[in-house]
Amino acid sequence: MKKDVHWIDAKLVFIQTKIKENIKVHGNLFPEPASVHLNYKFGENVSWTPSFWTGMMWLSYELTGEAIYRQVIEAHLESFNQRLKLDIEMDNHDIGFYFSLSHIPEYRLNHASDSRKIIVAAADKLVVRYLDVAGIIQAWGDPDDSENRGRIIIDCNMNLCLLYEAYQITGDRSYYDKAYAHIKNAQKYLVREDNSTHHTYYFDSETGEPLRGTTAQGYSDSSCWSRGQAWAVYGFALNYLYTDDESLLETALANADYFLRYLPEDDVPYWDLYFTSGDEYRDTSAGSILACGLLELAKHLPITDERRSQYEETAYSIVRSLSEHYTTEGEAVNGFVKHAVYSIPNDLGIDECCLWGDYYYYEALVRLRKVWKPYW
């Protein structure tokens, strides 16, 4: 795929400039998950999203080598270490997000022995959530949480990378086996016959019996939440990377093809794929995740496979559209990519900047610009 890199370089500079502006004002603090009027409030390392800010530091440091990013990274590494030690909001599957964008890059890029130990300790915390009888990692809440007992969500596809990393570090097969059991159940129960996805699925926590698919953030239980479908594309592709299970690659491809059928004319999806036109909210964060997933998928296809060039070109088109029409460039705000959605049913972060959306937009630009080894 031929691509004009000049606009990509300009957008990378835009992001790095805005990151530095935020560091100057907020130091080592973390943005909240979503902006308010396109401005993030900054605070402590809580909620499920802070590592996306750390991930943006890592991307910046890899691209530029500038000390300002490394200084923040070092503070963040210690913050995540303390979060693990003090058990701060660790009763969820997002432990994978926390450490995939903080200590895993430190271990892979710098061979840091401290990060090696922390990755394994974090994986140990994550596998506590594994329900043997069902072969799943419960997404939210403790085992006695009546609302979330036996519940998985499509987002967890991304979090399993922490367990694969712990297996590679220790040689302990149990990390791999639990991750693989979960992704196979996600493949079997979260993916519908038409290759759309449920956001969540319930299993009986006592018997392991599969119960029902539902949504938490989509339009309805029977619709396809766009960010969830993007997690499916990217997540199944990454699990294929670790397992060599060709069926996972085929599932990711089928999820991608389903998503592409519902992209609107400018290639930036609505918040749920039930909508393809009209005045409904877009979700630029879903578009950014999808672009990264398509570029990851393309790497695993033969050059002769026409889907390879299709996915690369679509990812390029999504990122170009985001860059031209959806960023905050020229506005006096501290967010990056507008028109994202956190959760419409919960009235959170609607038509705002969302931290993960900003991160994946940045990752997609990096993927388009250079050969890049994922942190996932």
What are the catalytic residues? 94, 155
C-alpha 6/C-alpha 361 separation (Å) is: 17
Pairing of strands 210-214, 340-343: unpaired
* Distance from chain centroid for Cα 217: 16
For helices 50-64 and 67-86, give the axis angle rounded to 10 degrees: 150
Taking the C-alpha atoms of residue 188 and residue 23, their distance in angstroms, rounded to an integer, is 43
Q: Contact at 8 Å (CB) between 203 and 139?
A: no
Q: Counting Cβ atoms within 10 Å, is residue 239 exposed (0-12), middle (13-18) or buried (19+)? A: buried
Amino acid occupying residue 51: S
Phi, psi of 310 (to 5 degrees): -65, -45
End-to-end Cα, the chain, rounded Å: 24
Diameter of the chain measured on Cα atoms: 56
Dist. CA 348–CA 88, nearest whole Å = 22
